[in-house]
Structure 1
Amino acid sequence: MLQRFFIFCSGADTRILETCSNGERTKYAGIGATVFFTAVMAFIASGYALYTVFDNVWTAVFFGLIWGLLIFNLDRYIVSTIKKRDNIKKEILQATPRIILAAIIAVVISKPLEMKIFEKEIDQVILEEKNAMTLANKEQLALQYTPKIEQLNQEIAALKGEIAAKEAETNALYDTYISEAEGTAGTGLLGKGPVYREKREKHDAYLAELQQLKQANGEKIAAIEAEMAALDAEYAQVVANSQPIIDGFDGLMARINAMGKLPWFPSFFIFLLFLAIETAPIIAKLLAPKGEYDYKLEEEESVVATWVTQKVKQRNQVLATDLAINDKVYADIKSEEELYNYKKQKAEELLRLQADKFHEVQVKGL
């Protein structure tokens, strides 16, 4: 039962193989098993690749099964269409396009499995890329907010500078009236005289203005700081909204690019392994000697070709004979006087009827 299934997978004619030896059936069962297990590997590889795309097991299994059946059908067709000939060069030339197609299929099959084999290394590369993208994203988004925040910081610095300047002036006036009271500056008289009171009043006026300025600028600074806090919150929200996009940077193309950054040597040998598996049925059929099945298949093909050639030649001869007979018959008819007179009479009657009909139409139009 299993041998019959693998023979079916090989694409061989089971009717002919039943008349062949056990060794011949075993050979084609081996070729069919290679075709079958290549399709199984294609199903597993495509299923994993599609799982990384859809992130759904059943969807990946469904489309992976379709892909596996497609690969199975292609391999079975490729193997079944390679015919053993007596000329090895013709066989190789016949198999070359199929080997190229097999190499393409091997690439498609091997890449998803390579991603699974090197999954941990690929995850590390993707993590580094995500971190770099996160930093770059924050820097790019910060460029939208930095000019405004710098402007607000400059406004705060200017307001604080006004307060500092006013404090410096007030402190200078304080030192002036204290020195006047102590007699170390100004009039040089010890005590609180008129000059002292004048300078003290001026200092008190500046001190009141300083208090008002601190209150007004403090309110402005608080408003500006609130605006800066709102900008910081908005920036944090934008970063948080864009982060899921970076976190989701784990698709098929991202993993393929990440795998390309790994050393090529192990990946190359995995590809060679799958290339050997995919081309194994073709190579096996090319290397195998011409067997009993090949001779019987060639005999049946030659019988069909001969029969078709005979039928085509017979139909051509029948057509040529029929044309020759028709030419002779019509040539004999052409020389008969009675037939000529009869056709002439009928033509005259037809012309008379046409003339009468034309005359009636013309009369009705008057």
Structure 2
Amino acid sequence: MVQQFFILCSGADTSILKTCSKGEQNKYAGIGATVFFTALMAFIACSYALYTVFDNVYTAVFFGLIWGLLIFNLDRFIVSTIKKRDSFGNELLQATPRLVLAIIIAVVISKPLEMKIFEKEINQVLLEQKNEMTLANKNQLALQYTPTIEKLNTDIAQLKNEITIKTAETDELYNTYITEAEGTSGTLKLGKGPVYEEKREKHDAVLAELNTLKETNAQKITQIENEISTLNTEYTNVVKTSQPVIDGFDGLMARINALNELPWWPSFFIFLLFLAIETSPIIAKLLSPKGTYDIKLEEEESMTNTWARQKIQQREQILLADTALNEKIYNEIKREEEVYAYKKKKAEELLKLQADAFKNLQVKQL
């Protein structure tokens, strides 16, 4: 049962193969098994590749099954259309386009399986790429907010600097009237005289200005700090909104590019493995000697071609004979006077009837 299934997979003519030896049947069963398991690997590879795209098991399995059947049909077609010839050069010539197609199929099958085999390494590469993209994204977004925030911080520093300058001026005036009262500077007279009062009033006026400046600048600083806080919040929200795009950077193309970042030789040998599997039925047919099945198949094809040529020749001969007979018959009829006279009489009668009908029509119109 299993052997018959694999023979069916090989594309061989079962009616002819049944009359061949067991060894010949086993050879084509082996070829069919290779075709079947190649299609099975194609199904698994395509399902995994599509799962990375759709994130849905049922969708991936459905399209993977279609792809597996397509590869099965292609492989079966490739193997079944290679016929053994008396010349190896002719066999190689007819197998060349099929080998090219087999190489393409091997690439398509091996790449998703390579991604599954090296999944952990690919995830590590993707993680590093995502981290780099996250930092680059933050820096890029920061360029939109940093100049404004720096300008606002500069404004805050200027406002604080104004308070510092005014405070220093107030402190200096305070020291001036204190030392005047102590008699250590100014008039050098101890006590609170008119000069002391003048300097005290000047200090009090500047102190009032300082208090007003502190209050005004404090309000301005609070407003600017609120703006900075708003910009920081907006920046955080923008980063948070764009982060899912970076986190989702693990699709099929991203994984293929990540696979290319890994050492090439493991992937290359996996590709060679699938290439050997995919081309093995073709190579086996090319290298194997002409077997009983090939001889019987060639004989049946020759019988069919001979029968078809015979039928074509028979139809051509029948056509030639029929054409010759028709020409002979019609030539003899042309020479018959009786036939000529009869046809002439009937033609005259027809012309008379047409003339009478035309006359009657004209009379009716008058």
Q: How would you bin the TM-score normalised by the shorter chain?
A: over 0.9
Q: Provide Cα deviations, 1:86-108, integer angstroms capped at 9, x if missing partner.
A: 11000000011111110000001
| Matching residue's letter, 2:256 | I
| Matching residue's letter, 1:287 | L
Equivalent in the alignment of 1:71: 71
| Matching residue's letter, 2:73 | N
Equivalent in the alignment of 1:114: 114
CA 329–343 in structure 1, closer or farther in 2 if over 3 Å, else same:
farther
Mapped partners of 1:320, 1:123: distance in 2: 78
Match of 2:355 among 326, 329, 352: 352
Mapped partners of 1:202, 1:358: distance in 2: 141
Mapped partners of 1:113, 1:95: distance in 2: 27
CA 153–343 in structure 1, closer or farther in 2 if over 3 Å, else same:
farther
| Matching residue's letter, 2:288 | A
More off after superposition, 148-157 vs 295-304? 148-157
- % of aligned pairs identical? 69
| Matching residue's letter, 1:160 | K
Q: Provide Cα deviations, 1:4-35, integer angstroms capped at 9, x if missing partner.
A: 11111111011111111111111111111111
Equivalent in the alignment of 2:55: 55
More off after superposition, 135-144 vs 147-156? 147-156
Equivalent in the alignment of 2:26: 26
CA 353–42 in structure 1, closer or farther in 2 if over 3 Å, else same:
farther
List runs of 5+ in structure 1 lacking aligned partners.
none
Equivalent in the alignment of 2:294: 294
| 1:280 matched to 2:280 | yes
Query: Which SS does the other structure have where 1:79 is aligned?
Result: helix
CA 76–248 in structure 1, closer or farther in 2 if over 3 Å, else same:
same
| 1:303 matched to 2:303 | yes
Mapped partners of 1:319, 1:160: distance in 2: 116
Q: Provide Cα deviations, 1:230-253, integer angstroms capped at 9, x if missing partner.
A: 111111111111111111111111
Equivalent in the alignment of 1:237: 237
CA 110–346 in structure 1, closer or farther in 2 if over 3 Å, else same:
farther
More off after superposition, 318-327 vs 215-224? 318-327
CA-CA distance at 1:342 after TM superposition: 4.3
Equivalent in the alignment of 1:92: 92
CA-CA distance at 1:182 after TM superposition: 3.2
CA-CA distance at 1:131 after TM superposition: 0.2
Q: TM-score, normalised by structure 2?
A: 0.92
Q: Is the 8 A contact 1:106 1:271 kept in 2?
A: yes
CA-CA distance at 1:179 after TM superposition: 3.2
Describe how 1:170-181 pairs up with structure 2 within 5 A: 170-181=170-181
Describe how 1:1-366 pairs up with structure 2 within 5 A: 1-336=1-336, 337-338=340-341, 341-342=344-345, 344-345=347-348, 348-349=351-352, 352=355
Q: Is the 8 A contact 1:333 1:339 kept in 2?
A: no
CA-CA distance at 1:334 after TM superposition: 4.4
Cα RMSD (Å) of the superposition? Answer: 2.2
Mapped partners of 1:262, 1:357: distance in 2: 104
CA 21–357 in structure 1, closer or farther in 2 if over 3 Å, else same:
farther
| Matching residue's letter, 1:341 | K
CA-CA distance at 1:141 after TM superposition: 1.2
CA 177–109 in structure 1, closer or farther in 2 if over 3 Å, else same:
same
Q: Is the 8 A contact 1:46 1:109 kept in 2?
A: yes
| Matching residue's letter, 1:264 | W
Q: Provide Cα deviations, 1:68-127, integer angstroms capped at 9, x if missing partner.
A: 111111111111111011110000000111111100000011011111111121111111
| Matching residue's letter, 2:22 | N
Q: Is the 8 A contact 1:134 1:243 kept in 2?
A: yes
Mapped partners of 1:214, 1:164: distance in 2: 10
Q: TM-score, normalised by structure 1?
A: 0.92
